[in-house]
Structure 1
């Protein structure tokens, strides 16, 4: 028996497939109508063929077969030719139309999934497995389209079978019963095999996904792999899943289906042999005509085709349902509410930030990360956030951008709570220069202009020179059209930081967040970057997260965090005077007094 989880996955997957199919309702109805016409045509062909041969045999006993006008055999021949011609044209047109829909369904599921992922809150991405999510969406795209294509192909054939059973029963209920019995036996065999084969196939796919994840992580972290001389270690892990588990399981699955194919063919052969034997006997006894024999044997060949196709495609259907269910887990995740009801939008912020007794935890039952944080930052002020790792500095600045919202209290931007802001408007006025810069495998021009897509080349070159990046770019053969590589691998850490600073300058934000931007730099590069940052900070409300306290001496307010709470606030000069203060202790550690 199937577990409750399996049944739930099947229901979820089926609902997801129906939802995706509804987007193409008109096209599928159109194909359904053509499929219905094709089914009637194909289901009637053996019957008409039988009647044709009976008429031909009957008139062959007369010398002047054309004396009475168009004979019945000629009419039936013309009808058969017309039906076949119509069926061929419908099938040809439907196949072309179906292939287009198949591609559209595949790509639309993937595109919708990617768009949905980008609109999910940061809290989701912090806990998600990116490679796994992309793989789920990719798999669901082609598997769901395969299911819909299979259903569109098979359903009309089952309708043809129904028509064939009715027409066969009018010829000989006994022989029609043998056909039905053969189909039932065939389906019974299929049902006994499908479950273990599908379960083994799923295990193989899980192993394949594991190998895919291992490969993706190894490639993304290729520098670490090479530095650690871990190529053999990673390839062994990948081989263990792909060439070990997945390959062995799929070999067993193929063996099962090979055996199924043999027994299926034996059942079809036995049924056709019985039909032929009994129909010949009945013809000899005079209870069945030659035309009836031809019609019944035609139906015996036609009846098993859809079931054979269903058997071969059941793996696709089963895995497609599971893939759709897994992708649906992503689609069900609620998107960020970018524009709440009555949300506020502004072209330009003043940059006034207030934390009003803010407490925050990442989820119910999770420990409190920030506790009763209260302070204000006036427009143009520089606020430094210091403290040991894990005290909540990065979480605090994420609250300003509305990536998270306080559990208790509120964060006010220009007097308006972040939950009441149009998030697109809010974030357009905030720029972040992070410690680890995220660059795209694109040109330097595109990376600098990312987020400010309608700027001129002159503006891009201006901010590049202001960020001390222009001289380096001018030495490159392709200048601003140079490709930076995956995640900016062709650039040094300092060069990537300067791209990030230029990007922030181009954005011209009211609020600037510097998240340890110089912590990984050498002294010379840090001096250059610091000059660029000072130019960037002019006239903006700036939050500086720093471990190196030498970088925050000029801050208007230094907020010292300890265990998620504000331990001290003040200027560098004020805090350094506190003999037992947290800031002074951290400072003395850094200058080597302890």
Structure 2
């Protein structure tokens, strides 16, 4: 029976979707339960201790009645003497036994659940990061993160707590009702006629109150959004003299929060009155009727038995009240299991979880060719991005790819890295189709320096070492020097141990770019992709990065995707893309000589913009 807080500052809980419990959903859950198999001995032992603990717990209230009867000189059970000391000593032994059993039950269940969940988390995370890029194109990062965190936490709670509680409460419910009937079938019928109805009403009422609480929280979140937006755009607010407007907008949402909270408080008051009058009234009536049965010595009923009845009635009331919430938790866990299994059942890329199995088996020399490649992103299959694209890049050549935004330049980079596969046509490395190479062989020997460099939140040293995890510190420093990065790195107090911050926010764009170049140098790829690597930098940073790129491109095949045409004049070959088609190919002098060509037009346009 839920009695959630209803003041407007109470925290709303995120509700996970529930799944229907049927044969199909339970079969899916069975796949996850296979992770428990290595620990089945402890799991079965925990179940046995759970049953013993629950049965011992049911036996304990019998001591209350025995004590009361013994105090009046009445012998309750033939095997228990009417002696307070003996009954007390027996109760202590039973308590110790229950504590002993409960300890092993809890620790074994937690051990099994934690180890099983760790295995599920590991497999889910590894499967997630080895799924093809198309999987991520169709899903939000927050949704996937929720599966790793919220969904698996729900499964964890069910394995460690909910599952055991369901068994415990069912034993208490069945055993408690049986014992109630033994004590007095008349009192039991009177209780079971009223109690289930009251509990159902209380549960429904509690859910209604929680829905109002969530409504108030949603409204409060909206008001917090207004505060966040206003403070983030405070310059605009002041510039347009809209302080009064923003204050009024915030006040309106606060009034709605107050209105919902007050409405919820009224229902909470009714709920409290219901609890006091109906449930406590039921307990009082049971005691009243039970006292009457004791007074007339109905089947020899004693005050001790009435005490037992009251305690067992409280037990089964709590069990009845908790089962709906436990059932809801199981539904959430089944739903969470289905969402986790969606990831585990996805077909991942051919990458091993053991790093030793991902080492290079076939060496690339750097020859690259596209042969009649046609490609459309699976999420937008009706839109052809590349149409019959063919070109070659010989080992050591610099090939530039230019064209307007949306012409398919970055898509070609993604195809070289095998993030996607063409619908028709082929991509060749050293004359062999890409399918004839292990995926890890290609990616281990192709490096990319993107426009927007993503650094991980560790140190500069760790970020450079990402290109070669077993590199020595001397190798890392040498790569940084070649990338024109050593000077700025050593200017920091912590040097190479400087924390770069989330996504590298503590470094400038040029600094992040040079770290990415050092990372690529350390990887020593056969094929290098530069995806507009200098387009967002200022002139000074661009000069430093361009010098570093010259070192990086030396002696290796380089695919240069460029927006600034001034950076590719020395390329051996320039490919001009428009709407997914190659419309021109040649070097800078050949293309600039074509008066009707797109390359010449783009070059003149950029020159005029720079002059202006």
TM-score (norm 2): 0.80
Q: 1:375 to 1:151 in 2, by over 3 A?
A: same
Give the equivalent residue in structure 1 for 2:60: 45
Q: 1:99 to 1:127 in 2, by over 3 A?
A: same
Q: Cα deviation per residue 1:104-132 (whole Å; 9 max; x = unaligned)?
A: 67777666654444333323334433245
Q: Cα deviation per residue 1:248-295 (whole Å; 9 max; x = unaligned)?
A: 878877875675465345444233223322222222222232132232
Whole-Å separation in 1 of the counterparts to 2:263 and 2:44: 39
Whole-Å separation in 2 of the counterparts to 1:96 and 1:549: 66
Is the 8 Å Cα contact of residues 362 and 437 (structure 2) preserved in structure 1?
A: no
Quote the RMSD (CA, aligned, Å). 4.4
Q: Mean Cα displacement is larger for which, 454-463 or 201-210? A: 201-210
Unaligned segments of structure 1, at least 5 residues: 62-67
Give the equivalent residue in structure 2 for 1:64: none
Report how far residue 528 of structure 1 moved.
2.5
Give the equivalent residue in structure 1 for 2:318: 305
Unaligned segments of structure 2, at least 5 residues: 1-15
Give the equivalent residue in structure 2 for 1:396: 412
Q: Cα deviation per residue 1:467-502 (whole Å; 9 max; x = unaligned)?
A: 111122222211111122222222222111111111
Write the mapping of 1:322-337 to structure 2, written as runs, cut at 5 A: 324=336, 328=340, 331=343, 334=346, 336-337=348-349
Is the 8 Å Cα contact of residues 208 and 241 (structure 1) preserved in structure 2?
A: no
1:532 is aligned to 2:532: no
Report how far residue 319 of structure 1 moved.
9.1
Report how far residue 136 of structure 1 moved.
5.3
Is the 8 Å Cα contact of residues 10 and 322 (structure 1) preserved in structure 2?
A: yes
Give the equivalent residue in structure 2 for 1:159: 171
Whole-Å separation in 2 of the counterparts to 1:89 and 1:258: 42
Report how far residue 453 of structure 1 moved.
1.3
Q: Cα deviation per residue 1:142-181 (whole Å; 9 max; x = unaligned)?
A: 4443444244235313312211211221232221222322
Q: 1:70 to 1:499 in 2, by over 3 A?
A: closer
Whole-Å separation in 1 of the counterparts to 2:131 and 2:547: 36
Give the equivalent residue in structure 2 for 1:442: 458
Give the equivalent residue in structure 2 for 1:359: 374
Is the 8 Å Cα contact of residues 441 and 486 (structure 1) preserved in structure 2?
A: yes
Is the 8 Å Cα contact of residues 203 and 321 (structure 2) preserved in structure 1?
A: no
Given candidates 260, 263, 274, the residue that maps to 1:263 is 274
1:589 is aligned to 2:605: yes
Q: 1:375 to 1:381 in 2, by over 3 A?
A: same
Whole-Å separation in 2 of the counterparts to 1:165 and 1:185: 16
Whole-Å separation in 1 of the counterparts to 2:54 and 2:346: 43
Given candidates 267, 285, 289, the residue that maps to 1:274 is 285
1:458 is aligned to 2:474: yes
Is the 8 Å Cα contact of residues 45 and 83 (structure 1) preserved in structure 2?
A: yes
Whole-Å separation in 1 of the counterparts to 2:251 and 2:110: 37
Is the 8 Å Cα contact of residues 147 and 340 (structure 2) preserved in structure 1?
A: no
Q: 1:477 to 1:411 in 2, by over 3 A?
A: same
Give the equivalent residue in structure 2 for 1:31: 46
Give the secondary-structure state (helix, strand or coil) at the position aligned to 1:579.
coil
Is the 8 Å Cα contact of residues 45 and 105 (structure 2) preserved in structure 1?
A: no
Whole-Å separation in 2 of the counterparts to 1:383 and 1:510: 14
Q: Cα deviation per residue 1:289-313 (whole Å; 9 max; x = unaligned)?
A: 21322322221222212234456x5
Between the two proteins, the alignment pairs up a number of residues equal to: 576
Q: Cα deviation per residue 1:436-482 (whole Å; 9 max; x = unaligned)?
A: 11112221111111131111111111111111111222222111111
1:405 is aligned to 2:417: no
TM-score (norm 1): 0.82
Give the secondary-structure state (helix, strand or coil) at the position aligned to 1:189.
helix
Q: 1:188 to 1:475 in 2, by over 3 A?
A: closer
Whole-Å separation in 2 of the counterparts to 1:110 and 1:455: 29
Q: Cα deviation per residue 1:402-424 (whole Å; 9 max; x = unaligned)?
A: 11111122222234443454322
Give the secondary-structure state (helix, strand or coil) at the position aligned to 1:476.
coil
Report how far residue 38 of structure 1 moved.
1.4
